Structure formats: C-alpha cells, structure tokens
Amino acid sequence: MNSTVIGNISRFVLLMAAQILVFNKMELFGYTAFPYILYILLFPVNGNKAVLLITAFFLGLTQDIFLNTSGPHAAACVCLAYFRPAFFRFSFGISYEYQTIRINDRLTPERFSFILISVVTHHLILYLLELLRFSLIIGTLIRTVATTAFTLILCITIIYLIKPGKQ
C-alpha cells in the first residue's frame, strides 16, 4: 500500500461522506450539487484506468443507493471516468502525459476548462437519462444548467480549500 492508494481511498470515503452528509441536504433554489465527482477528476493522471472505472462505478452506485435513484449516477460516473483522458488532451494539449498535471493547484484557464467540461458531461448524461424517462424537457434543462453551475462553484471552492500550502 503506497501513499497514492491510501490517498485515493481516503478521497473516495471523504468525498462520499461529505456528499451524503452535507451536499445532498444542502440546496440552493431547490437544486442540489454533486461535488463527489471530484474523486474522478483528482484521480492521478497516470493511474490505473481499470481501477478508476471500477471505483467510479461504485462511487456512482453509492450515491444512487442513498438518493433512491436507480442507476443514472453510476452511468454518468463511468462515462466521465472513461472520457477523462480525452478531456485531458482537450484541455492540456496532446502531450499531457509527459507533463506533471496537478488539478488541485492554482486555477488556470486549462484547469478551469477541464473541470468545466467534466462537470457538464457528467450532468448532461445524468439528466439525459432523466429526460428519457420523464420527458419534461424544459424543467430538465433548467435543472441541468442550475446544477452544473452550482457543482462547478463547489468543486473549485473545494479544490482551493484542500490545495496543499506552498512550501
């Protein structure tokens, strides 16, 4: 067990606990945010992809169990985990694997675009599945936009809060 594995596990547990205990109960204008997807964003860039996929699935499933929604969070998390390398390439350029990318650092346009595109993808899939089931188009669109904005703000705030101090 090296420190990366322990870091990943503790991030999983802490983010899930924060999501269940705090963020699921917190609402702004009737919309909740899902900053638990930070686990997928903060997973090490060169980490094992299979591990990321499987843990992302269980991350989403846990959220589904607690929210009584069956499946959409798991599907959205798995998709986000699978497309993450593509988003890295989009935001940081083609040679991202050779750079040392740190997501939890000062907010640059690259980092912001990466977080934005990830959050939008996750929420779009989440609400697309909702749309397929309920076909309430306008309500779903408003919810997607509002929740995306709320999650984005919370994600950036959390990154700023837990970012390691400068030596």
Partner 1 sequence: MQQIFNFIFKNSILLLFLLLLGISLSLVFQSHYYHRSRAVTSANAISGYTYEKINDVEQYFSLKEQNDKLATENATLKQLLYNSQDTIDIPIIQKPQGLDNFTVIQSKVISNSYNNYENYLTINSGTNDGVKPDMGVVSSLGVVGIIENTSKNYATVISILNLKFKLDAKIKDSNHFGTLKWDAKNTGYAQLTEVPRLASVKKGDTIVTGGRSVIFPENIPIGKIENIFRDTKTNYYTLSVRLFNDMTNLDHVYIIENKDLQEIRDLEARTGDE
Nearest approach, Cβ of residue 11 and partner 1 (Å): 19
Contact 64, 74 (CB under 8 A): yes
Q: Is 60 in the site for partner 1 (CB under 8 A)?
A: yes
* Tokens encoding 66: 């607690």
**d(Cα 48, Cα 112) in Å, to the nearest integer?**
24
Question: How far apart are CB 166 and partner 1 at their closest, in Å?
Answer: 36
Residues of span 73-112 touching partner 1 by CB under 8 A: 74-75, 78-79, 81-82
Closest to partner 1 by CB, 66 vs 112, is 66
Q: State yes or no: residue 134 binds partner 1 (CB under 8 A).
A: yes
Does residue 130 interact with partner 1 by CB under 8 A?
yes
- The nearer residue to partner 1, 75 or 124, going by C-beta atoms, is 75
Counting contacts by CB under 8 A, is residue 61 touching partner 1?
A: yes
Whole-angstrom Cα distance, residue 60 to residue 55? 9
CB of 32 to partner 1, least distance (A): 7
Q: How far is the CB of 108 from partner 1 (least distance, A)?
A: 28
Alpha-carbon distance values, 162 to 12, 30, 31, 51, 158 (Å) = 14, 27, 24, 23, 6
User: How many CB atoms are closer than 10 A to CB 125?
Assistant: 19
Contact 46, 87 (CB under 8 A): no
Give 31's strand partners: 28
**Contact positions toward partner 1, by CB under 8 A?**
20-21, 27, 30-32, 49-50, 53-54, 57, 60-61, 64-72, 74-75, 78-79, 81-82, 129-130, 133-134, 136, 139
